[in-house]
C-alpha cells in the first residue's frame, strides 16, 4: 500500500487507482482496509488512512489481486508501508525463522 499515512505518518493503503477513479474491492475487502487503519498510532494518522482508503478504493466486485492475509487474528489487505522500526522488526523476525508475510502483519499490528 503506497500511501504514507496510516501509522505515524509513514504507512497506509496504497494508491491503487492512481488516476483517481478508485479500485473496485468487495465490501469485505473495503471494511478490512478501513479496519487496518486502526493500527495507526495517532488519531490524525488514523483519519488520514481512512481518507486514503475512501479516495483509493470503492465497493464493487471482489478484487482477487488485492493481497489479503490473516496472521495472529489480524487481517490486512494490500502492500503495507512499514515505518523504519516496523521494517527492523520484520528483519529481526525473519532472521528468527518467521515468514516474511507473517512478520510483516505482526510487526504492523503489534509494534
Residue 83 pLDDT level (bands cut at 50, 70, 90): confident
Does an H or E element contain 75, and which? strand 74-77
**Sequence spans of domains, the chain:** 23-110
Show the cell assigned to 22.
478508485
| Percentage of the chain exceeding pLDDT 70 | 80
pLDDT digits (tens, 9 = 90+) for 37-65: 888 767 887 898 899 899 999 999 999 99
pLDDT digits (tens, 9 = 90+) for 1-10: 333 333 333 3
Does an H or E element contain 68, and which? strand 68-71
Give the DSSP per-residue string, 34-65: HHGGGGSSSHHHHHHHHHHHHHHEEE-S--TT
Residue 85 pLDDT level (bands cut at 50, 70, 90): confident
Give the whole-angstrom CA distance, residue 90 versus residue 104. Answer: 6
pTM for this prediction:
0.74
Once rounded to an integer, what is the mean pLDDT over residues 17-31? 80
Q: What is the per-residue pLDDT for 5?
A: 34
Cα–Cα–Cα angle for 30, 52, 25, rounded to 5 degrees: 25
Q: Is 18's pLDDT higher than 70?
A: no
Amino acid at each position: 500500500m503506497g500511501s504514507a499515512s496510516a501509522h505515524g505518518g509513514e504507512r497506509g493503503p496504497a494508491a491503487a487507482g492512481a488516476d483517481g477513479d478508485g479500485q473496485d474491492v468487495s465490501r469485505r475487502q473495503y471494511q478490512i482496509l478501513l479496519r487496518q487503519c486502526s493500527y495507526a498510532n495517532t488519531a490524525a494518522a488514523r483519519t488520514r488512512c481512512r481518507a486514503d482508503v475512501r479516495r483509493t478504493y470503492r465497493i464493487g466486485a471482489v478484487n482477487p489481486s488485492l493481497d489479503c492475509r490473516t496472521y495472529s487474528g489480524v487481517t490486512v489487505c494490500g502492500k503495507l508501508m512499514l515505518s523504519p522500526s516496523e521494517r527492523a522488526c520484520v528483519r529481526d523476525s525473519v532472521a528468527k525463522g518467521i515468514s516474511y508475510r507473517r512478520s510483516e502483519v505482526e510487526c504492523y499490528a503489534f509494534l
